[in-house]
Amino acid sequence: MIKLRGNHGESRMSKKITIVGGGPGGYIAAIRAAQLGAQVTLIEKDRLGGTCLNVGCIPTKCLLHTAKLLEDIRHQSAQIGIDISGVQLNFSKTMAHKNAIARQLVNGVSGLMRANHIRVIAGKAHFVAPGKMQVQTADGQRQAINADAIVLATGSVNAVPPIPGIKASSHCMDSTGVLALEQLPKTMIVIGAGVIGLEIACAYAAFGTKITVVEALDHVLPMLDEDITAVGLRHMKRMGITFQMASPVRLVEDMDNGARVLCQTQRGSTLRLKPKKYWWLSAEKPIRRH
């Protein structure tokens, strides 16, 4: 067993460590192992930085920053004596800015790998024996990797909720898809009133999309105190976001001009919503294959 000591009484390593996954868990472990003297190989099948930098925390915060600027200009500029008219969002430039920020941070992680002499292999890894892995690189080559210790930091992917029709719909997307849109949709249904769902709802509502949030529970952000969520709910309603609470989605289906989402309301009736786009928010599941 390899023991990593803390800041006091550190010992040097002469071990080979392979880390599978280049997200925050993987690249931080790689840096620390390298600092302690290990020979480190990091394997990543996509982009360094993982969900957070590429399709999670950073991209959503970029969109929310743009949304806040828009809201401030629209609602506060006149109050402080700044006359502005004709303020419009250039959606393609907004998304390009988001992508540029993500690339900048990913490049920063790449720089940390080089600075700590960490070998990075782009490809998919699988075990062939204890302490031995094989990596299929992006160009189709296969590399054998031997290690004294292997760290699995493969992260997670969005889980698809068990809603009939959701997998077959061409108008449905997960949080990764909604962050890659090339055109601003006129209408959108957000299935799930958790943190990520409401972040996306607020950003796109500020951009001009008509948003309806559908939630199976009777309140938003169930992990927070109700006095806090009440403040957020009032603000989101002022932004024009519509909420359909206690209404689990029973069916989604494509139509010629968009999609249809069928919900069961609290009174037992069926509600039919017809957005141009809709996306779901559900729990993530761990990646067991890399």
Reported as a single tens digit per residue, the pLDDT across 21-55 is 999 999 999 999 999 999 999 999 999 999 999 99
283 pLDDT above the threshold of 60: no
* Overall average pLDDT of the 251-266 stretch: 84
128 pLDDT above the threshold of 60: yes
The predicted structure's pLDDT at residue 270: 78
Largest interatomic CA distance in the chain? 70
The predicted structure's pLDDT at residue 158: 82
Dump pLDDT digits (tens) for 139-159: 889 999 999 999 999 998 888
Mean model confidence pLDDT for the chain: 89
- One domain for residues 143 and 272: no
* Full-model pTM: 0.87
Domain count of the fold of the chain? 2
| Lowest-confidence segment of 53-62, 109-118, 160-169 by average pLDDT | 160-169
The predicted structure's pLDDT at residue 1: 45
- One domain for residues 279 and 213: yes
3-class secondary-structure state, position 172: strand
Whether residue 59 lies inside any domain: the answer is no
- One domain for residues 147 and 181: no
- One domain for residues 26 and 146: yes
The predicted structure's pLDDT at residue 139: 87
Whether residue 195 lies inside any domain: the answer is yes
Whether residue 130 lies inside any domain: the answer is yes
- Partners of residue 261 on adjacent β-strands: 252, 273
| Alpha-carbon span 247 to 217, nearest angstrom | 7
Domain that holds residue 144: 16-50+96-154
3-class secondary-structure state, position 227: helix
The predicted structure's pLDDT at residue 83: 85
3-class secondary-structure state, position 24: helix
* Overall average pLDDT of the 252-264 stretch: 83
Contacts by residues 123-132 (CB-CB < 8 Å, ≥ 24 positions apart): 123/43, 123/45, 124/43, 124/45, 124/290, 125/18, 125/20, 125/43, 125/45, 125/290, 126/289, 126/290
Alpha carbon separation from 44 to 183, 205, 283 (Å, rounded)? 30, 35, 23
Whether residue 169 lies inside any domain: the answer is no
Whether residue 60 lies inside any domain: the answer is no
Q: Is the dihedral of CA 184, 192, 289, 48 positive or negative?
A: positive
- One domain for residues 198 and 144: no
- One domain for residues 280 and 215: yes
| CATH code of the domain covering residue 224 | 3.50.50.60
- One domain for residues 144 and 28: yes
Name the residue among 193, 199, 188 with its Cα closest to residue 222. Answer: 193
288 pLDDT above the threshold of 90: no
- One domain for residues 109 and 211: no
Query: How is residue 228 written in tokens?
Result: 């806090």
- One domain for residues 213 and 266: yes
